[in-house]
C-alpha cells in the first residue's frame, strides 16, 4: 500500500486546517493537508463572513492578508433594531477594535494560494477514512484517493475536518464529554445581487422573528430570516423572502431594502455543541470538529483560527526544543475561549430571536435587554468586546 510521511497530518482544508498548515510552514514544520472535497468546492462553499480583529491580525501577520486588507469591509459598529427603534453600537469607539466582513471562502482561497505557492501539500478529493496509532509516536491517517487506499504517516494528527469528519470519532469511547443545545428555529439565508442599503450590519428583533442584514461586497447582500427548524426551502419563493425581509427590517421611517436577484438560498439549523477535551494522545482537534456556535455572534470561523494559532505555537515549541507544555495545555486554553464564545452566542441568540412566538413576557424581557444595550455604555462595551473578539480569555 502506498505510504507518505510528514510531521503533522492535517485532516480538512477549511480555515483551521489551511491556517495551521501555513503557520507550521512559517516555522519550518512540514505538513500534509487531506481534503475530501475538490478545490473548487472548498473555495466556493458559503460560510461565515465576519472576522474579529484578532483573526484579521493573524492573517495579516502571517502574510496572507493582502487581499483581505484591500477588499475586506471594515465595520466599526453594528445597528440594533427593535420595537420600532434603531440604535448603533459604536464598537470601535468603545474597544479600539473593529470587525471586517470578508467571506470564509475568500480566506480559504487566500490560504490555498499561499500554501501552493510555497510548495505545500494539499491533497484534494482525498477522503480520510480511519486514524490509527494515535497513542503511538507514529500515527497513521488512512485515506482514499483516485480509488486507491493510501496512508499518511506522521508525528501528530490535527483533526480539522468539521462535525461530520472522522477525527473526533477516532477517540475511544468514554474519553470525550459532549455538551449540546438545539434551538427551536433555523436561519433562512440568501445571497442577493443587490448593493447593501447600509454600511454596517443590522440585527433586528421583530415580532415576526429575527432578521439580519449583512453583506459580502459593495454589490452583494447577505440576509437572514428566522424560520421554523423544519421549514421547507421550497416554500420560500423569492417574493416571499423579500416581503418578509421588508416586514422585519423596514421599521425605520425613510429606510428601505435594496432588492435584486437571489443567487443562493439555504436553511441552517441553529445549535450549540462543545466536546471536551480537544486532544487525545497525538490527535489534536480544532474548529467545528469540537465546537459549533449559533451564527448570531459571528464566532465560528474566528474560534477555528484561534484554535490553530494556539496549536501552531504548541507544535513549534515541541519541534524547536522538545517542549510539551503547550501541547498539554492546548485543550484547556482553547476551551476557555470556546466557552466565552458559547455564552456570547447564546446571549445574542436569546436576546434577538423569538424563542416562543406567543410569549409576551419573553418579548418584553428582550426589549428591555436591547434597550439597556442601547443606553448603557458599560453594557454596550461588553457586547462590543465580545463581538470584536477578546485578545485573551
Q: Which residues are catalytic?
A: 75, 203, 295, 299, 387
The β-bridge partners of 152 are 4, 141
Residue of 218, 262, 219 whose CA lies nearest to 240: 262
Residue 243 cell numbers, joined: 416581503
DSSP string, 209-225: --EEEEESSSS-EEEEE
DSSP string, 167-191: TGGGSPTTS-EEEEEEEEEEEEEEE
**CB-based contacts of 365, cutoff 8 Å, min separation 6:** none
Q: Going by DSSP bridges, is the β-strand pair 156-159/8-11 parallel, antiparallel, or unpaired? A: parallel
How many Å is the maximal CA-CA distance in the chain?
Answer: 69
Residue of 300, 278, 4, 282 whose CA lies nearest to 126: 4
Is cis: bond before 277, omega within 30 of 0?
yes
First to last CA, the chain: 45
* Alpha carbon 34 to chain centroid, angstroms: 20
Cα 95 to Cα 90: distance, rounded to the nearest angstrom? 9
Residue 174 cell numbers, joined: 468514554
Cα 21 to Cα 286: distance, rounded to the nearest angstrom? 13
**CB-based contacts of 251, cutoff 8 Å, min separation 6:** 81, 84, 86, 204, 206
Cα 305 to Cα 310: distance, rounded to the nearest angstrom? 9
Cα 249 to Cα 82: distance, rounded to the nearest angstrom? 9
In the three-class reduction of DSSP (H, G, I as helix; E, B as strand; rest coil), residue 365 is classed as: helix
Q: Which helix (H) or strand (E) holds 307?
A: helix 300-321
Amino acid at each position: 500500500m502506498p505510504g507518505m510521511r510528514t510531521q503533522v497530518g492535517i485532516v480538512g482544508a477549511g480555515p483551521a486546517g489551511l491556517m495551521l498548515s501555513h503557520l507550521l510552514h512559517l516555522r519550518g514544520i512540514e505538513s500534509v493537508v487531506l481534503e475530501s472535497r475538490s478545490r473548487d468546492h472548498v473555495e466556493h462553499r458559503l460560510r461565515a463572513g465576519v472576522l474579529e480583529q484578532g483573526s484579521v491580525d493573524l492573517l495579516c501577520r502571517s502574510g496572507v492578508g493582502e487581499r483581505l486588507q484591500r477588499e475586506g469591509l471594515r465595520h466599526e459598529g453594528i445597528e440594533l433594531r427593535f420595537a420600532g427603534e434603531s440604535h448603533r453600537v459604536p464598537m470601535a469607539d468603545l474597544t479600539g477594535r473593529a470587525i471586517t466582513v470578508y467571506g470564509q471562502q475568500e480566506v480559504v482561497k487566500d490560504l490555498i494560494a499561499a500554501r501552493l505557492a510555497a510548495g505545500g501539500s494539499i491533497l484534494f478529493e482525498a477522503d480520510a477514512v480511519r486514524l490509527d496509532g494515535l497513542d503511538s509516536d507514529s500515527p497513521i491517517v488512512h485515506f482514499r484517493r483516485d480509488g486507491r487506499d493510501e496512508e499518511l504517516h506522521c508525528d501528530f494528527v490535527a483533526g480539522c475536518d468539521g462535525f461530520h469528519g472522522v477525527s473526533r470519532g477516532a477517540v475511544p469511547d468514554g474519553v470525550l464529554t459532549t455538551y449540546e443545545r438545539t434551538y427551536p428555529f433555523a436561519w433562512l439565508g440568501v445571497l442577493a445581487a443587490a448593493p447593501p442599503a447600509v454600511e454596517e450590519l443590522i440585527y433586528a428583533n421583530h415580532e415576526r422573528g429575527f432578521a439580519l442584514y449583512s453583506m459580502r461586497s459593495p454589490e452583494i447582500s447577505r440576509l437572514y430570516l428566522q424560520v421554523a427548524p423544519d421549514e421547507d426551502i421550497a416554500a420560500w419563493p423569492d417574493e416571499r423572502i423579500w416581503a418578509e425581509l421588508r416586514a422585519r427590517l423596514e421599521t425605520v421611517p425613510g429606510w428601505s431594502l435594496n432588492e435584486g436577484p437571489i443567487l443562493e438560498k439555504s436553511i441552517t439549523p441553529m445549535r450549540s455543541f462543545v466536546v471536551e477535551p480537544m486532544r487525545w494522545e497525538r490527535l489534536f482537534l480544532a474548529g467545528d470538529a469540537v465546537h459549533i456556535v449559533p451564527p448570531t455572534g459571528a464566532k465560528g470561523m474566528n474560534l477555528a483560527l484561534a484554535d490553530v494559532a494556539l496549536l501552531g505555537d504548541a507544535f513549534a515549541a515541541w519541534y524547536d526544543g522538545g517542549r510539551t507544555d503547550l501541547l498539554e495545555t492546548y485543550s484547556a486554553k482553547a476551551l476557555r475561549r470556546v466557552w466565552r464564545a458559547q455564552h456570547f452566542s447564546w446571549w445574542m441568540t436569546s436576546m434577538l430571536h423569538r424563542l416562543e412566538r406567543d410569549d409576551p413576557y419573553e418579548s418584553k424581557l428582550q426589549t428591555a435587554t436591547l434597550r439597556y444595550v442601547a443606553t448603557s455604555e458599560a453594557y454596550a462595551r461588553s457586547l462590543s468586546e465580545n463581538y470584536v473578539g477578546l485578545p485573551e480569555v
